[in-house]
Structure 1
Amino acid sequence: MTLPVALSGSDVIGQAKTGTGKTLGFGIPLLQRIVVAADVEAGRAPAGTVAGRTPQALVVVPTRELCVQVTNDLQAAGKLRNVRVLAVYGGRAYEPQIDTLKKGVDVVVGTPGRLLDLVGQGHVNLSEVKMLVLDEADEMLDLGFLPDVEKIVERLPARRQTMLFSATMPGQIITLARRYMSRPTHIRASEPDDLGATVKSVQQRVYRAHGLDKPELMARVLQANGRGLVMVFCRTKRTAADLAQGLAERGFASAAVHGDLGQGAREQALRAFRNGKVDVLVATDVAARGIDVEGVTHVVNYQCPDDEKTYLHRIGRTGRAGASGTAVTLVDWEDIPRWSLINKALDLGFADPVETYSTSPHLFTDLDIPTTVGSVLPRADRTRAGLGAEDVEDLGETGKNSRGASGRKGGAGGRSRSGPAASGPSTAGPAAADAESGEPSRRRAPGSRRRRRVNGAEAGEAVATAVAPSVAAGAAGAPVAAFVEPTAVVVPAPADGGADADGDGERAPRRRRRRTRRRPEGAEAGAVATDEG
C-alpha cells in the first residue's frame, strides 16, 4: 500500500502493526530515489545529478540498536547498486564516522544527538537531502525529541519528501508531524478481520506473580517445549542486570542489554543473540523499538510495561512476518492499576490476571512446560556457547564506565579542612595547640563533620589542658589574673549547654572555622567574667 504513494514522491504517514515490514516500506522508495554513478553511466540519470560526497537521504531513528539494524537492512537491499549507507550514532568514536563522511555517502542513518553534533561541526552537509525518514515517529516526535527533530528539519531543503513510520501514532503526534510535511497521505495497514492492536499470531498470557517467585517462574518458562530465542523485558537497568546474572547462574545462556552498558557490550550481546550463542536476551525498553531478530518464539514482560505503547512494542519482537509467538506478562500486585489501564486501552481481555506461582499447574499447561523441570537447566541441555564466545568490537568508545571514576573521595581534601589551615587569630594560639594535642586519637574521617558535643568528662579534660599553658604564660611574665579560679570559667559551661564563649578548652576549635571574627570578643567576655568571679 505504501510503495505506490512513496514512489510517486508524496509525503507519507505510514502506520502498521509492529513486525509488518515498515523498514522496507520506506527503504525501497528511498533506494529508488538515490542516484549513483552507475545510473549516470547507464543513462538512467542525467550527467551531473550525482551528489558525490553529500548525502541524498537521511533516516533518523530513536535508538542506537535500531540505527544499526536499519543500516544493515538498507545495505543489504542496496548492495547491487553500490549504495553507500553510513550509521551515525553515539557510543562510537567520531573519527571513523568522519572519515567515511569525507569519502562520501549516499544515505545517513543516525540518532538525533550524534547527527546534530556532526552537522554542527560541518562534517555532514544536508543541503542535498531529497528524502527524510523518521522511523518510529511517535518516539521521534515526542516532546523529548521534538527540539532535535526541529533542528534537523531546519537544515534540510524545503523541496524534499518526508516519510514517517511507526506502529503507534496518537492524534497529537500526527498533528505535530503535519507541521513538517506537505499534504501527507496517511496509510494505515491492517487486515479486515483483525481489529485489535496486537498481532493475531501472538498468543498472550498474563499472570499475577509475586516478585520473590519470579526468578523461579522464569526458570520454568525458559524450559517450555518448542522454546527458541527468548527476549525478557524489564523496566529498570538494575533488574535487567540482576536477572541476566541470575539466569546465567542457573545454567541459561543469557545476556543483558541496558543503558548502563557501553555500546561495545550492547552490540556484543545483540550479535551473540542473533548468532545463537545466547538464547535469552534480558533488556530494558531500549531494545523494544524495532529490533528484528529471527527465531524469537517467546517474549516475557518480567515487569509490567509503563503504558500500552510499550506493551505493543515489547510483544512485537515475536510473531513477526507471519510467524507465531508467545507473549507472557508477569504483573506484580502493585502493578495491577497500571495493567488495568493497559488492558482497557488495548481491550485484551485480561482485566483480572490469574494468581500464578512457579508451581501452579495451569502455568505448565498454558505454556506447554514439562512437569519434571526444575529451577536449574540440566547440564545436558546447556548447548549454547554463551556470551563469552562473541568477540567485543573495539568501537573507540569515549568511556561509558568512566563516569564517576574520579569519585567523591574525601582524601586530602577532607583532611585539609581540619588541618592547620583552620588557624585563627593570635589570641587563639594556645587553644589551637590544645585542640591538636588534647585528643590525638580522634582524627576526623573524610567527609565527616567537625562539630561535636562536649560532655562533662570531656569538659574536665579540657580544663586540665587549658590550665597548664596558662600557668606557663604566667611564669613568663604574662598576667595570670584571668586564671586565678579557672573552675569559675569552665564549670558553668556544661550546666548552660555549652554557651560559654571564653575560648578555652574544646570550644575554640569547634567555632574556629565559622565564627573566627567573634572570638576576640568572646575572649574579652571570658576575661571579664573571670575578673568578676
Structure 2
Amino acid sequence: MGPLRSRRSLPVAVHEGRPKRSRRIPLTTFSELGVIPAIVDALADEGIVNAFPIQELTLPIALTGTDVIGQARTGTGKTLAFGIPLLQRVVAPLDDEWSELVDFGKPQALVIVPTRELCTQVANDLLVAGKRRGVRVAAIYGGRAYEPQVAALQAGVEVVVGTPGRLLDLRKQRHLDLKHVKSLVLDEADEMLDLGFLPDVERLIEDTPASRQSMLFSATMPGPVLAMARRYLRTPTNIRAEASGDETTVPLTEQHVYRTHKMDKIECLARILQAEGRKLAMVFCPTKRLAQQVSDDLADRGFASAAVHGDLGQGAREQALRAFRSGKVDILVATDVAARGIDVDDVTHVVNYVCPDDEKTYVHRIGRTGRAGRTGVAVTFVDWSDMTRWQLIDKALGLELGDPAETYSTSPHLYSELGIPEGTKGTLPRAARTRAGLDAEEVEDLGETGRNRSKSGGGRGPVTPRGRAEEDPGPRKPRPKRNRTRTRTRSGQPVEAGAEGSSAPAESAPAGGPAAEGGDAPARTRTRSRRRTRSGAASEGDAATD
C-alpha cells in the first residue's frame, strides 16, 4: 500500500526565511479518532485535545491492529501516534478484563528507543496518557542500578520502554519476559541503525510473539531500516504526514547560517543568547570535550548553562535535563545524545556550534525548536573548512540559503537578523542573571554502573556546575601501626648489637658528656663508614670509632 499523505496544509508557511502565519484549520480531536474516553480525559488533563497530522493519519489505522511505518518531521507528535494505540491494546489493572489474565504483570507492550534521555521522555508521556487506567510503565536503560529495574519488572508492568543494551541484559538474566507482548514499537529506528543497535533489536524482536502489532517510527528511513521493516512487519501501512514537496525541516523554524572564525564563535554565541524574546536555548557540539568547554565558557560569562554528554554519569545528565526543563538553567550544551526526541517546551533557539556532518544530523538538531506549533530560530556556525559540507546539506534539504556570509561578533547583520539589542557584549549583565543555576537542582543517586563515578559526576558526591564530582571522604580512622622486628645480618649471618664489627649505632654519649652526668641531652650518633669485606670477615678499620 502506498504512503498516505496529509490533505491539509500546515498551519504556517515560510517565505524568505521568515515564518509567516496563515489561517489555521481546526484539528481533529482524539475522541473523534476513536480513542477511548479514559485516554482522552487523561490527555485533556494536560491540555492535549487536538491531534497533529501524524496522529490524525496514524490512529485510525493503528487502532485496528495494523502494522505501521510512520515517517514525519521531528517534533510533530510521533510519541502519541504510537503511544495511544499501544495503551489502548493493553489490559490495565483498572479494566474489567484484568481478572481474566493468565499471567499478571507480564509486559504487554515493548518500546525500543536508542538513547536514555528519549527512554525517560517516552515513558513519562505514556504514564500521562495511561494514568486514568492505572497503566504501569517501566523505563529500562543503562547507567542506573539493576536492582530498581528488576524490582519494577517483578512487581508487574504493562509497558516496557528501554534501550537495547539494558533490555538484552535483563533478558539474559531472565528478568524480562517478552512472550506476552501484543505491541512492539521501534522509535527513531534510523538512530539505532547509526549507533549499531540493529542486531540487538533483531534479537529482542525474535523473542516477541509473531502475532504482535509492530510499529516503526522515525524522521528518516534509510535502506537498512526499511529492509528490517519488510522482514518483521506484516503488510505495513506507510504513513507520511506531509506532502512529497514539503521540506524535511520544520517550517516554523527560522534558519540562519554564518561563516565564523573558531576563535570568535563563543563571542557570537554569547550575543545570540541575549537576543530579544529568547527563552530556552540548546547548543550542539560534535565532541564531549568541546561541549563541556562551551558550557564552562558560558558559565564564566554569567549564563546559566549545563552540559549533557557521554563523559558525565547518568545522574549528572538527568540533573542537567531536569534543571533545563524546570528553567533553573536556560542553556543546554549537548552532543548528539540530546538531539533525538528530547521534547522541552519553550526552546526558542538552537545553535549548531560546528557544522553538522550530514543533513540527517542537521534535521534532528534543529528539530528541538519549532515543536508542536511553536516558532523557533536555528543558527549554524560554518568554518571556512566546512563550506563543502554545508553546501551538501543545503542541497540535500533544498534550503537555498546560499553561501554563508562572513560574520564576526561585531557584524551589524548579526544583530539585525537575530534581534540582538545594540550595544550587547559577550558577558551577560548582572541584572539579567536571574536563573537559579545547576546547583539548585539536586543530583539523584542512581547507583550508576560501568564507569568511574568520581570522574563522571554521578552517584558518589555532590556535582559542581561544570559536571565534576567533589569527593566526600568523611572521617577516616587512624591507620594501625604494625610492630615490626628487624634483624641485622651480614653475609647471611645475624649480627648482635655491640658485637665487634657491628654497625649498630652507639646508645650513649661519650664519658663525661651530658648524658653521663644524668642530663636530658640526647645521645650522640656515631658516624659509620661501610667497607667491603671478603668471606664475611671485616677488614681493618671497619668498626666505628669515636
Say yes or no: TM over 0.5: yes
Equivalent residue letter for 2:73: K
- Correspondent of 1:317 among 347, 368, 382: 368
**In 2: Cα distance, 1:57 partner to 1:114 partner:** 16
8 Å CA contact retained: 1:142, 1:173:
no
8 Å CA contact retained: 2:93, 2:134:
no
- Correspondent of 1:289 among 317, 340, 362: 340
8 Å CA contact retained: 1:272, 1:278:
yes
Against the structure 1 CA distance between its residues 46 and 278, is the aligned structure 2 distance closer, same or farther, given a 3 Å change threshold? Answer: closer
Give the superposition deviation at 1:141.
3.9
**In 1: Cα distance, 2:69 partner to 2:373 partner:** 23
The yes-or-no answer on 1:65 pairing with 2:117 is yes
**In 1: Cα distance, 2:102 partner to 2:328 partner:** 43
- Structure whose alpha-carbon radius of gyration is higher: 1
- Correspondent of 1:8 among 59, 64, 75: 64
**In 2: Cα distance, 1:331 partner to 1:404 partner:** 32
Give the superposition deviation at 1:144.
1.0
The yes-or-no answer on 1:160 pairing with 2:212 is yes
8 Å CA contact retained: 1:26, 1:133:
yes
Equivalent residue letter for 2:252: S
SS across alignment from 2:131: coil
Residue by residue, what CA displacement relative to the aligned partner does 1:398-454 show, whole Å, maximum 9, x if unpaired?
26335999xxxxxxxxxxxxxxxxxxxxxxxxxxxxxxxxxxxxxxxxxxxxxxxxx
8 Å CA contact retained: 2:93, 2:135:
no
User: Which residue is equivalent to 1:527?
Assistant: none
Against the structure 1 CA distance between its residues 296 and 402, is the aligned structure 2 distance closer, same or farther, given a 3 Å change threshold? Answer: closer
> Structure 1 residues 9-18 or 136-145, which shifts more?
136-145
Equivalent residue letter for 1:274: R
Number of equivalences: 407
Equivalent residue letter for 1:24: L
SS across alignment from 2:264: helix
**In 1: Cα distance, 2:142 partner to 2:388 partner:** 37
- Correspondent of 1:91 among 121, 129, 143: 143
**In 2: Cα distance, 1:237 partner to 1:138 partner:** 22
Structure 2 matches for 1:440-455, cutoff 5 A?
none
- Correspondent of 2:445 among 394, 400, 404: 394
Residue by residue, what CA displacement relative to the aligned partner does 1:332-385 show, whole Å, maximum 9, x if unpaired?
111112112111111111231111010000000000001111110000000000
User: Which residue is equivalent to 2:16?
Assistant: none
8 Å CA contact retained: 2:69, 2:236:
yes
SS across alignment from 1:341: helix
**In 2: Cα distance, 1:147 partner to 1:308 partner:** 25
Give the superposition deviation at 1:257.
0.1
User: Which residue is equivalent to 1:333?
Assistant: 384
**In 2: Cα distance, 1:288 partner to 1:243 partner:** 17
User: Which residue is equivalent to 2:201?
Assistant: 149
Against the structure 1 CA distance between its residues 404 and 78, is the aligned structure 2 distance closer, same or farther, given a 3 Å change threshold? Answer: closer
Equivalent residue letter for 1:167: A
8 Å CA contact retained: 1:262, 1:399:
no
Equivalent residue letter for 1:152: L
8 Å CA contact retained: 2:70, 2:216:
yes
8 Å CA contact retained: 2:93, 2:133:
no
User: Which residue is equivalent to 1:491?
Assistant: none
Percent of paired sites with the same residue: 67
8 Å CA contact retained: 2:107, 2:178:
yes
The yes-or-no answer on 1:52 pairing with 2:104 is yes
SS across alignment from 2:263: helix
RMSD of Structure 2 on Structure 1 (CA) = 2.1
Against the structure 1 CA distance between its residues 217 and 236, is the aligned structure 2 distance closer, same or farther, given a 3 Å change threshold? Answer: same
SS across alignment from 1:212: coil
Against the structure 1 CA distance between its residues 46 and 64, is the aligned structure 2 distance closer, same or farther, given a 3 Å change threshold? Answer: closer
Residue by residue, what CA displacement relative to the aligned partner does 1:447-466 show, whole Å, maximum 9, x if unpaired?
xxxxxxxxxxxxxxxxxxxx
SS across alignment from 1:255: strand
- Correspondent of 2:94 among 38, 45, 50: 38
Give the superposition deviation at 1:236.
0.3
**In 1: Cα distance, 2:195 partner to 2:430 partner:** 49
The yes-or-no answer on 1:133 pairing with 2:185 is yes
Give the superposition deviation at 1:37.
3.0
Equivalent residue letter for 1:16: A
SS across alignment from 1:65: helix
8 Å CA contact retained: 2:91, 2:98:
no
**In 2: Cα distance, 1:368 partner to 1:248 partner:** 23
Equivalent residue letter for 2:329: V
- Correspondent of 2:127 among 72, 75, 91: 75
Give the superposition deviation at 1:172.
3.9
The yes-or-no answer on 1:307 pairing with 2:358 is yes
TM-score normalised to structure 2 length: 0.72
User: Which residue is equivalent to 1:251?
Assistant: 302
User: Which residue is equivalent to 2:280?
Assistant: 229
8 Å CA contact retained: 1:35, 1:50:
no
- Correspondent of 1:17 among 64, 73, 97: 73
Residue segments in structure 2 that go unaligned for 5+ positions in a row: 1-56, 457-530, 536-546
**In 2: Cα distance, 1:159 partner to 1:59 partner:** 16
Against the structure 1 CA distance between its residues 125 and 172, is the aligned structure 2 distance closer, same or farther, given a 3 Å change threshold? Answer: closer
Residue by residue, what CA displacement relative to the aligned partner does 1:119-161 show, whole Å, maximum 9, x if unpaired?
0000010000011000001122447111101110111111101
Equivalent residue letter for 1:2: T
- Correspondent of 1:380 among 431, 435, 448: 431
SS across alignment from 2:95: helix
8 Å CA contact retained: 2:92, 2:98:
no
- Correspondent of 1:272 among 300, 323, 327: 323
Give the superposition deviation at 1:175.
2.2
- Correspondent of 2:157 among 102, 105, 109: 105
SS across alignment from 2:62: helix
**In 2: Cα distance, 1:248 partner to 1:32 partner:** 46
8 Å CA contact retained: 1:89, 1:115:
yes
Equivalent residue letter for 2:206: E
Residue by residue, what CA displacement relative to the aligned partner does 1:49-91 show, whole Å, maximum 9, x if unpaired?
3641210000000000000000000001100000000000001
Against the structure 1 CA distance between its residues 377 and 143, is the aligned structure 2 distance closer, same or farther, given a 3 Å change threshold? Answer: closer
> Structure 1 residues 257-266 or 139-148, which shifts more?
139-148
Against the structure 1 CA distance between its residues 358 and 143, is the aligned structure 2 distance closer, same or farther, given a 3 Å change threshold? Answer: closer
**In 1: Cα distance, 2:436 partner to 2:249 partner:** 34
User: Which residue is equivalent to 2:262?
Assistant: 211
Residue by residue, what CA displacement relative to the aligned partner does 1:248-273 show, whole Å, maximum 9, x if unpaired?
00000000000000000000000000
User: Which residue is equivalent to 1:530?
Assistant: none
8 Å CA contact retained: 1:67, 1:87:
yes
User: Which residue is equivalent to 2:508?
Assistant: none
Residue segments in structure 1 that go unaligned for 5+ positions in a row: 406-467, 474-533
The yes-or-no answer on 1:120 pairing with 2:176 is no
**In 2: Cα distance, 1:349 partner to 1:115 partner:** 43
Equivalent residue letter for 2:74: T
Against the structure 1 CA distance between its residues 402 and 228, is the aligned structure 2 distance closer, same or farther, given a 3 Å change threshold? Answer: closer
8 Å CA contact retained: 2:313, 2:453:
no
SS across alignment from 1:322: coil
Residue by residue, what CA displacement relative to the aligned partner does 1:257-302 show, whole Å, maximum 9, x if unpaired?
0000000000000000000000000000000000000000000000
User: Which residue is equivalent to 1:28?
Assistant: 84
Equivalent residue letter for 1:68: T
SS across alignment from 2:391: helix
